[in-house]
Structure 1
């Protein structure tokens, strides 16, 4: 990329959102209190750093951002640490370059996705997990897409919560995650506690589709109910119990990765909204 191609403010917003999620204890997922699933905090930190310039490349499409960031991630860490994060963040980053509210701009971005976006995203998915995604009758990533990216995501929306965001205008982010995060901020909780509450909010609201793909629907439902047993008014006060739950999930090789990806996107959306508000005031 040439100098000047990157919006450094947006790159920093992406990077800091990823780091904020790592600093919060998220049961079953990687965080600064415990690595897991053969991945380390350092892997995620490096991934955030190398992906950020691609995510904030001025004028780039959703597909270009996802593919560029995935190539950089695989080159830097050699494994898929952030595909879900990239898929959720790229439309938000494109929307942040446009006028109107973030939600309005995002809806327009999702409605204008193209076949080329689908081709780039399919290529990124193959890089992240070659041969490991299974076969489906419609829009299998092993074959070239025949529809635009939003339609391709529609075919996976029932089994993948990240794909579902593309066809619902990120409804989970705006209707579940952001209200939890914003109310936590308003209550005066520190950043890590706000992020932990957001993560637990997602994991307790619906079965995590990453868990479901790896362990089946019954286990995913069981894990959702275990998350529902936590009433986290102040996560810091429940730190020990959260870490015990974290160890128990990792001992079972259970990683609510979709909930974690949605959490990063929620933190990013909140940051992008603040950047827009500050810019309007300035």
Structure 2
């Protein structure tokens, strides 16, 4: 029997642990306890995790509505978008876990089923959540999948995710059933955490995401050219540091953080992907070991 089925408290604990770890570790350009961003309060990130964790782990609230309610309450209390990307990415995973899976192979297929079940009402809730949070740069996009256009109403949620997948990594996760995480990030984290500390492994994972594809948050705000430039810059830095947890390499991570912070360039989507990978990793650890010692 699945250890997760109807176990909202366990799943919420894993979610909060993933959020708190990610906010604690320094991630170049992104907010952390060790390197804040002007105007973003670290206490509010913790509070955003608590608010969203309580709602997303409620087994009686459907996926779309839980995303909407979590975003609405976070915005009402905190008055700023602190965690839309995290909510969007982790919600289907949390809902799937609550329904229960008993093997690693079942996790992704269960998530696929959950996403395929998103109906018109669920999709409307999700799009309203995005509108409420108004993520940076979203008004710069004016394609067919623009949720602010009446034209988008002609498409199902899944069709809009397919269109958005071409330029947005969160949409791509929904469309590809989290391919980027299951076939790239998760295996990378599994390997690195055997060799390095939890913090350095998480930093390497974040840098790998940032050097793999343009960050969607940066691309929305500043365009493809800048997002691609940051990707290439991170690729060469990442290539040099990922095999050695040394003071020299930690200094390089800090230098990249300083550079991105000075240019107000926040790879927010890569941070969201990192949190989601940490959560799936915790879930798979429990599934594969059938024990709770990894929580």
TM-score between the two structures when normalised by the length of structure 1: 0.90
Describe the SS at the equivalent of 2:72.
helix
Q: Distance in 2 between matches of 1:38 and 1:184?
A: 33
C-alpha deviation, 1:202, in angstroms: 0.4
Query: 1:13: how far off?
Result: 0.9
Aligned residue for 2:229, secondary structure, equals helix
Distance 1:276 1:233 in 2: 28
1:18 shift after superposition? 0.6
> Unaligned 5+ residue runs, structure 1?
none
Shift, 1:274, TM fit: 2.4
1:266 aligns with 2:277: yes
Give a deviation string over 1:238-267, Cα, whole Å, max 9, x none. Answer: 222211211111111111111111111100
Size of the aligned set, in residue pairs, is: 277
In structure 2, the residue matched to 1:223 is 230
Secondary structure, counterpart of 1:155 in structure 2: helix
1:235 to 1:56, Cα distance in 2 relative to 1, 3 A:
farther
Give the distance between the partners of 1:88 and 1:141, measured in 2 at CA. Answer: 18
> Which position in structure 2 is the counterpart of 1:110?
115
Q: What is the aligned partner in structure 1 of residue 216 from structure 2?
A: 209
Alignment match, 2:3: none
* Unaligned residue ranges in structure 2 (runs of 5+): 1-5
Q: Deviations over 1:39-75 (max 9, x none)?
A: 1322211111111011111143221221121122112
Matches within 5 A, 1:1-282: 7-96=8-97, 97-99=99-101, 100=103, 101-129=106-134, 133-134=138-139, 136-142=142-148, 143=150, 145-187=153-195, 189-230=196-237, 231=240, 232-235=242-245, 237=247, 238-277=249-288, 279=290
SS in 2 for 1:186: coil
For the aligned residue pairs, the C-alpha RMSD in angstroms reads: 2.3
Residue 84 of structure 1 and its aligned partner are, at CA, apart by 0.7
Q: Distance in 2 between matches of 1:236 and 1:90?
A: 36
Question: Residues of 2 paired with 1:167 and 1:130: CA distance?
Answer: 20
* Alpha-carbon distance, 1:115 to partner: 1.0
Give the whole-Å Cα distance in 2 for the aligned partners of 1:65 and 1:107. 18
Structure 2 Cα separation of the partners of residues 59 and 275 of structure 1: 24
CA distance in 2, matches of 1:249, 1:280: 40
Cα distance change on mapping 1:234 and 1:51 into 2, 3 Å: farther
Query: What SS does the aligned partner of 1:126 have?
Result: helix
Distance 1:37 1:158, change over 3 A: farther
Cα distance change on mapping 1:281 and 1:72 into 2, 3 Å: closer
